């Protein structure tokens, strides 16, 4: 992922440094999005396991009533 500022022919060092900083931030954003997807998947997995445990002891109506609280 390259920021266009690095390729401006008349750009001096401050412009190129800022382009580098933007690229680093963009990479960090991608990593954070990837990590977020992993956490969301983990939440879904644990929620599924949790629902298997609760469904055996409580009715859906009871569970929905508690969710409202």
- pTM for the structure as a whole: 0.68
Phi, psi of 3 (to 5 degrees): -90, 140
What is the mean pLDDT of each successive set of 10 residues along the chain, which is 69 residues long?
Answer: 77 85 96 99 96 87 87
pLDDT of residue 14: 87
Q: How many CB atoms lie within 10 A of CB 48?
A: 9
| pLDDT for the residue numbered 26 | 95
């Amino acid at each position: 992922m390259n920021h266009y500022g690095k390729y401006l022919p008349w750009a001096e060092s401050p412009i190129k440094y800022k382009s580098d900083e933007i690229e680093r931030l963009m990479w960090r954003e991608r990593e954070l999005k990837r990590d977020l997807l992993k956490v969301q998947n983990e939440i879904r997995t644990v929620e599924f396991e949790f629902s298997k445990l609760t469904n055996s002891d409580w009715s859906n109506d009871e569970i929905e009533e508690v969710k409202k609280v």
